[in-house]
Amino acid sequence: MSRGVQFGSIMFDFGKKRKPVQFGGVAPDDDDLIEVTHLRRESRQGLMSEGLKLIRDIFLIVVVFILLGVFFVQPVVVEGTSMLPQLHDGERLLVNKLVYYKIQSVSWGHIERGDIVVFWYPNDPDKSFVKRVIALPGELVEIRGGRVIVNGVELEEDYLDPGFNNSLPNLPLERVKEHHYFVLGDNRDNSLDSRVWGFVPEKYIYGKAFFRYWKPANIGFLEHGRYDNIDVRPSPSPTPDDDDER
């Protein structure tokens, strides 16, 4: 029988022992919502989780770079001096490969006059050349006294250094074949280009260079040739015989 004294509505229970209140510590029984954490185990699990996330991120970055290299951008190395003073031997370039898909709505999606393009050498597809596009498919091109004339208009080539262009041979008038391009090196005293082996088939061009990332002193976007004085449409002037075309 429980002993107690009741005064009014208040009941004092003297027979039931109560647990002493503990101060300075937390026990699991204090509250059902308290979560017991094992720091060492949680630390290991957190480290594993972060490691897996890091591996995932690295994998995604590698995949993105592979896709960029396959479809969009490719690094190339300049060999030789045929593009002086614009490009030097040993420099590293980034090449835009979107020109292969001929996206006409944007300039970087197709080939234009003045572009520096990278292509397989027509006489030996195991080699790659880098040159500047001078004449487009269907245009008339000739060289007279070192002056390049397209569609009857002399090109104004501000990117050239006269010191590298002293002995240009003449080239008779000819029309660039469809799906071909006429290309020249900027160092025309020392360049193996369309003057020697003819036009570049469009299918051999795999990109145009747009950015130099090495050497550090010359990092930046490449200079694109501008020809404000020339119409891109073929000239109606007389064309050479088909037998004279390359």
d(CA 234, CA 240): 13
Residue 131: active-site member: yes
Exactly one of 82, 191, 194, 208 is catalytic; name it.
82
How many CB atoms neighbour CB 122 within 10 A?
A: 16
Exactly one of 131, 191, 194, 208 is catalytic; name it.
131
Residue 9: active-site member: no
Known catalytic residues are 82, 131
